[in-house]
Every structure is written in structure tokens, then in C-alpha cells.
Amino acid sequence: MKKIAIYGKGGIGKSTTTANLSAAFSEMGLKVCQVGCDPKNDSTRLLLGHICRKTVLDVVRDNDAITSEDIVHTGYNQISCIEAGGPEPGVGCAGRGIIVALEKVRELNVLSDMDAVLYDVLGDVVCGGFAVPIREGYATDIYIISSGELMSLYAANNIAKGIKRFALRGVVRLGGIIGNSRNTLNEKKLLQEFAARLNTYLITFIPRDSIVNEAENKRQTVIQYAADSDQAKVYRKLANMVLHNAKMTVPTPMDFEELEALAEKYGSKN
Ligand code: ADP
Ligand code: MG
């Protein structure tokens, strides 16, 4: 079973990219499960066609004796969708929610017959809970999404620090940087060098395309909404790369000054 986690700054495109990856995997005939680990709870929206109505935490709060049917929802192309959920805003800790939710997923053994499991994790928060998918061995192949914007690189570098810590004592590896374009200056070159400095590579550079927003407004992945579009081809290519990726590494994160200098080198005209 492929156990993949996608990390990155909030709003960078994790859920969109993960849902398109799941859709592409399912088209290849794989049995796929996507697990949303963001208290925002919208990871699987494009697969379900609506916001998940019952997160694992909702179910746990309401009932002790729960079954896998309570937490697994079936989406596009029979993809299994799970949302960890989160506490009410202002009360409780989001990370704790992920811990409880993933424990339930493990307890109910819902992932045993999957070919690929994808964890979509909010990663720009310094909270132990967000490290659970990699700390507890749920995911082994980690990908970080970033654009050329400094703050997204900053978050990506921090995530690399976390991955390094767990990689040194286990099987967790960084599989690459997924570039998700914000059309910044020399963005692809910057991301290529950023990735190389982290001892990894830019596995795919996803263009910014309004078809993504069109599909989002229809509550669909691009794979479903515009199956023949160039953007859908990019997501399929990414799925292939992820499936056959042989370059799994232990990252070498940078210090902040180095990161700033890199962003300045590519991201300014004079
Ligand atoms: P995250 O899960 O990281 O918080 P989302 O996947 O929800 O981020 O994406 C944030 C917004 O960016 C969404 O409105 C999404 O449609 C848009 N978006 C993501 N990737 C692209 C892209 N390649 N081109 C255009 N819009 C994108
Ligand atoms: Mg998201």
C-alpha cells in the first residue's frame, strides 16, 4: 500500500491537488482513500461533491460504538473519503483532533484493503498533532506543496525539518516538492533550486489555471470536470511520478537567512 502525505501552508492548494491525485489514482484502477487532516474539513469536498457532513470527531463526540460506515464516505469513482474534523473554533486543539481521528481509523481497520492512502495535512502550524501522520507511521512518502512565495517556502522548509527528525529514526522519506504556481518571478527555477537545496527535487510544477476554480465551483476535481484538459494531464502525470518515485530522501532544511537569500535571488528584478 502506498502511504502518502501531502503537507503545505494553508491555502497553497493541498486539498485541490490531493483530490486530483486521488481521482487520477482511482482512474488507474487503484483502490484509494483520502484522509483530510485539516480542521477546515474540506479536503474531500471535490470528491464527495459537498462538504463532508460527518467528520470522525463529530462521530466520536456523538457515539462511542462506531463502525467504519460512520466515518468512511464514498466519493468520485468509489474513492473512500474520511475527514478527521476539528474542535469548534476557540475551544480545544486541532492537533488533538487529528490524533483521536487517526486512532479511530486504525482501530476500525478501514485502510487494510487500500492500494493508496493520501493524507492531506495542514502543515504550517507548529503543533505536534499535525506531525501524527508521519510520527506514528501512517504515512511514509511525504510531499510538500509550495509556490514561489516566501511564506510558502518558509512553511515548506519547516515541514522539511519535521520530516528530517522522523526520517532519521524511521521509514519516513521526502518524495519531492510539488510546485503549485502563484505566477511569481522565475518561480519554477526558484522551486527547482529550493528543492535541490533540501536534497530533493521538484517532482511536478502545476500551472495556475482558472479551470481549477471552475471545477471547484462545480464541486469537482479537474480530472472529473475537464478530463481532457491540459491541467488534468498535469495531475495525471503527477500521479504517475508519485506512484513510481524512486528518489525518496532525508531532507536537509535551510536556515531562514539562506531561504531569504534564495527567494531574493530569483524573486526580484533588481
Ligand atoms: P489548501 O488545501 O492548501 O488550504 P486548497 O486546495 O483549498 O488549499 O486551494 C486554495 C484555493 O486555491 C482554492 O480556491 C483552489 O481552487 C485554488 N487553487 C489551487 N491550486 C490551483 C491552481 N493550480 N490553479 C488555480 N487555482 C488553484
Ligand atoms: Mg485544504
For each of the domains in the chain, give its residue range(s) and CATH number, in order of start.
Answer: 2-266 (3.40.50.300)
174 CA to centre of ligand 2 in angstroms: 20
Report percent pLDDT > 90 for the chain. 79
Following CA atoms 43, 49, 54, 55 in sequence, which dihedral angle do they give, to the nearest 10 degrees? -10
CA 35 to CA 199: how far, in whole Å?
27
User: Is residue 260 in contact with ligand 1, taking CB distance under 6 Å?
Assistant: no
Residues 39-69: tens digit of each pLDDT: 889 999 999 999 999 999 999 888 878 899 9
As a whole number of Å, the CA-based R_g of the chain is 18
Q: Verify whether residue 218 is a known catalytic residue.
A: no
Q: How many CB atoms lie within 10 A of CB 242?
A: 23
Q: Work out the percent of the chain whose per-residue pLDDT is above 70.
A: 96
User: Which residues in the chain come in under a pLDDT of 70?
Assistant: 89-92, 125-128
pLDDT tens digit string along 14-46?
999 999 999 999 999 999 999 999 888 999 999
Cβ 208 under 6 angstroms from ligand 1: yes
> Which residues make up the environment of ion ligand 2, defined by Cβ < 5 Å?
14-15, 38
